[in-house]
Structure 1
Amino acid sequence: MSILPIFALVCDGAGNAQIENDSLSVSISLQGAELQSIRSKITNSEYLWQGDTEYWDRRALVMFPVNVAFRDWKFTHKGLTYEMPFLGLVESGSFEKVADSRPNSVVLEFRNTAETIERFPFPFRFRIRYSLEGSTLNQEFWVENKGKERMYFALGGHPGFRTPLEGGKGRGDYDIVFSEKMTVDRLVVADNLHQNKSLPYLKNEDRISLNDPRVPNAGMFLKSAKSRKIGVGFMGQEPYLTLDLGDFPNVNMWTPEGMPFVCIEPMLGHHDQIDAPYEISEKECVISLGVGETGRYRFSMTVNDGVPGP
């Protein structure tokens, strides 16, 4: 007799959506559609940073319609000025569950409101699907332009991962691991903006220690990243968790000195520049959709339980 895989979608007492299969159990908050947990059902290890307020109180926020920040926290459009909150409009918004035929997934939706229009004058519908395939968690986004003019926006994920994964080691025992060797400079980020300069980063390397002096507090941004898969691994070993950038061309990696986590942030668009124009249609850091168009974008995270973390 064959044994069918286990799939489930439930809500816990905190109102979080939960999905699981034979490999993983995943929890997602309806507030901001933010991941709360990625736990292995094989080892019981928790991979997602758990939001310790002593360090960083978030876990895996979603950034839309800005990646981190616009210059001076504002932009203009058609002669009007709009204030854009740090990290965007949806990271603390209330999402609703949408019917989904897949038993191992959940779809969450956020629509523009009168309040969002005051800050972002483009009607939109924003959906996220979280789904499980074996030991892989897929994160798919739909951005629909519901307005009567071209819409300009950026989109990004901001998941944090625990380092150390378990007790007994320090963050210096962990590496960021790239899927191929690269010789590449990183664009400098300071005060949440690109500084229009770069610094040497990797030289024919495919990994870097979290305690390497080349790792800055403000983040390591790679534009059009050649390595499409970036993971976290114990020193010298294969990664125990890998993020596939998928449809997101850019990536920022953030792991401030002394912090027990590393964020791998897929970005469609990027941080604003320090001298960027205020008019949103002229900004390099955004992309656009025509009237009635829907953009669909995806990245994924895969857990490798066969690789030791601690």
Structure 2
Amino acid sequence: MNYTLQSVDLTVEINPVGMEISSIKSNITGIEYMWQADPTVWKGQAPVLFPIIGALKDGFTLIDHKKYIMPKHGLVRNSTKPQLIDQTDNSLRFRLTWDDEFLQQYPFKFQLDMIFTLVGKTLSVGHEVTNLGEKTMSYSLGGHPAFNCPLRDGEKYEDYFLEFEQKETGSTWEVEKTGLIGLDQKLVLDDTATLPLHSHLFDEDALIFKQLKSREVSLKHKEKGSVLSLNYTDFDYLGIWAKPGASFVCIEPWLGIGDSTDSNNEFLEKEGLLKLEPQQSETKSYSITVIA
């Protein structure tokens, strides 16, 4: 059963399985902004990425000389273990906590709360991580929301573009067929704030940016203007992805990144890791604002 948040403007649904956004719908126009998980294309909607992002080299990582196997994007996606622990008129808080099964995949006693808060046309997505163990905990964290594109009948994917808050000169780090991050870069943004969408943009997998100045990106229609914006002030990396030819686009704020092709499999040497001392908590948030 999904849980619902409502404002005058929007109705939002959260799926407790994976603590995933499943719907953001306008109460005025009836437009659905979230991809509706066609399983023949891609069954995800907004996976929570923890404690890794992307793929592990050879499917495993080493922690204290022991091998641990984790699926792509970590432990939260598709998990039926999260529980709703608090609900107010405009917020929902879900919790996923370590157990013996998780310890076989990731040897840290974690607690991850996902806090969804709806105010007007803005949905805030908070990730509160707590280290319940007795040793320093290292992890990565990220979001993976997929937005419908195009939104309306008669529109084309090519009618849309992404606009960054600042002009950018940025290269993507190429993704290998294994899902690992390659060592080569390809210039994508050349002193521009716009990224036109087209059906072949993701033929070689995601666009991965490590050093953008912008911390907000908007989805826009060439003639009808802004659709929505995503603010990721708390996040250092940005992924942009879709299945080639699919009618959605993912805007993915990350803290951390997948293993590179030259990884030595050592977890504590992964790029972009966050650290928490015992009994410490830290919250990182992004927000989605519907404009049209």
Query: C-alpha deviations, 1:164-195, integer Å up to 9, x for none?
Result: 10110121111122112112222212232210
Structure 1 residue 171 corresponds to structure 2 residue 149: no
1:20 partner letter: Q
Cα distance in 2, alignment partners of residues 228 and 236 from structure 1: 24
Contact 1:175 1:207 in 2 (8 A): yes
- Partner residue in 1 for 2:97: 111
Which whole-Å deviations, capped at 9, do the CAs of 1:238-292 have from their partners, x for residues lacking one? 3211111120111100023211110011101112211112121122242221122
Q: How many residues align?
A: 290
- For 1:295 and 1:159, the matched residues in 2 are separated by 21
Question: Equivalent of 2:26, from 20, 37, 40?
Answer: 40
Residue 87 of structure 1 aligns to a residue whose secondary structure is coil
Deviation of the 1:22 alpha carbon: 0.4
In structure 2, what is the Cα distance between the partners aligned to 1:223 and 1:149? 29
TM-superposition CA deviations, 1:72-121 (whole Å, max 9, x none)? 12111111111011221011222111124x42000000001111000000
Q: Which runs of 4+ in 1 moved over 3 A?
A: 212-217
Residues 139-159 of structure 1, C-alpha deviations (whole Å, 9 max, x = no match) = 001101111111111111111
Equivalent runs, 1:119-198 vs 2, <5 Å: 119-190=105-176, 191-198=178-185
Q: Which residue of 2 aligns with 1:18?
A: 4
Alignment-derived partner of residue 227 in structure 1: 214
Asked if the contact 1:32/1:90 (under 8 Å) is kept, the reply is yes
Instruction: Tell me what 1:254 maps to.
Output: 241
CA drift of 1:236 comes to 5.5
* Residue 280 of structure 2 is aligned to residue 293 of structure 1: yes
Contact 1:182 1:203 in 2 (8 A): yes
Q: 1:268 to 1:138 in 2, by over 3 A?
A: same
| Contact kept in structure 2, 1:217 and 1:255, CA below 8 Å | no
What is the letter of the counterpart of residue 258 of structure 2?
A: H
Partners in 2 of 1:86 and 1:241 — Cα distance? Answer: 28
Contact map agreement 1:194 1:271 (CA 8 A) in 2 = yes
CA contact (8 A) 1:112 1:123 kept: yes
- Residue identity opposite 1:241 in structure 2: L
- Closer/same/farther in 2, CA of residues 30 and 213 from structure 1, 3 Å limit: closer
Secondary structure, counterpart of 2:104 in structure 1: helix
Contact map agreement 1:277 1:283 (CA 8 A) in 2: no
CA distance in 1, matches of 2:291, 2:200: 28
Match of 2:67 in 1: 81
Where in structure 2 are there 5+ consecutive unaligned residues?
none
Looking at structure 1, the residues matched to 243 and 198 of structure 2 have their Cα atoms a distance apart, in angstroms, of 10
8 Å CA contact 1:61–1:91 kept in 2: the answer is yes
Cα offset, 1:213, TM superposition: 6.0
Give me the whole-angstrom Cα distance separating, in 2, the residues matched to 1:113 and 1:158: 25
Gaps of 5+ in 1: 1-14, 306-310
Bigger shift: residues 23-32 or 221-230? 221-230
Identity %: 31
SS in structure 2 of the partner of residue 180 of structure 1: strand
Q: Is structure 2 residue 227 aligned with structure 1 residue 243?
A: no
Tell me which residue corresponds to 1:6.
none
Do the aligned partners of 2:42 and 2:243 also contact (CA within 8 Å) in 1? no
Q: Residues 121-154 of structure 1, C-alpha deviation per residue, up to 9 Å, x if partnerless? A: 0001100100111100000011011111111111
Question: Cα distance 1:215–1:16, how it changes in 2: closer, same or farther (>3 A)?
Answer: closer
Q: Which residue of 1 aligns with 2:252?
A: 265
